[in-house]
Amino acid sequence: MKLTRKQEIIVIASKLFKEKGFQAVSMRDIAKAMGIKASSLYNHIQGKQEILSTLILEVAHEFTNGMNAVVSETLTPIQKIEKIIELHIDITVNYSEGLAALNNDWMHLEEENRKSYIKMRDDYEENFRSIIKEGIRDKSLTNNHPEVILFSILSTLRTLYLWYQKRGKLDENVLKKDMVAIMLQGIANH
């Protein structure tokens, strides 16, 4: 699994982006972290934008593909939601830095890439919304406002990356089990 020089740059840059944000990291910062000069970076990448778009679009495609897989399966709404929670946890574990860029720096993508990111995000949310509405209709989900349900789950899943590293000792499977339980059953004892 040897990384190309280009991949190395993207890995290192993504860690800096996660810490300080895309705009606060200069090409000189990235170069310094790699032990080379800024001008040398341009032998491997076209520019700073390419790093950002590569990072974000890779993760966005993971979400899109994962959601498409969930939608095409024959499952109850609750089973679909469990699959989506798993999808987010998997992506958090495997693409933590890309996820940070996607969440915080998507607005710094250039026109074309920003448009396709927004399209993917909107489609993703629309699929999720449909699953929730289906669950409310067949009474497997509570009759709360669908948008509030969607937002509550999605906001937790989307910011998991902020928190997963810190308490990294926690086993991935314990996390899955607890998160599914909390979102579906809540935190109050009945």
Partner DNA sequence: GTCTATACGATGATAGAC
Partner DNA sequence: GTCTATCATCGTATAGAC
**Of 58 and 164, which CB lies nearer to its own copies in the complex structure?**
164
Instruction: Give every CB contact of residue 88 below 8 A, 6+ residues apart in sequence.
Output: 157, 158, 160
Evaluate whether 92 touches 160 at the Cβ level (below 8 Å).
yes
Instruction: Give every CB contact of residue 29 below 8 A, 6+ residues apart in sequence.
Output: 16
Rounded distance, CA 1 to CA 18, Å? 24
Instruction: Kindly write out the interface string for residues 2-41 of this chain, putting x where it contacts DNA by CB under 7 A and - elsewhere.
Output: --xx-------------------xxxxx-x---xxxxxx-
Place of tokens 């990384």: 3
Instruction: Kindly write out the interface string for residues 36-75 of this chain, putting x where it contacts its own copies by CB under 8 A and - elsewhere.
Output: ----------------------------------------
Instruction: Kindly write out the interface string for residues 115-154 of this chain, putting x where it contacts its own copies by CB under 8 A and - elsewhere.
Output: --------------------x---xxxx-xx-xxx-xxx-
Evaluate whether 41 touches 31 at the Cβ level (below 8 Å).
yes
Rounded distance, CA 163 to CA 171, Å? 13
Three-state DSSP state, 112: helix
**Which of its own copies, DNA, none does residue 162 bind to, with CB < 5 to 8 Å depending on kind?**
its own copies
**Of 50 and 134, which CB lies nearer to DNA in the complex structure?**
50
Using CB under 8 A, list all residues that contact its own copies.
19-21, 23-24, 78, 81, 104-105, 107-108, 135, 139-142, 144-145, 147-149, 151-153, 155-156, 158-160, 162-163, 167, 170, 174-175, 178-179, 181-190
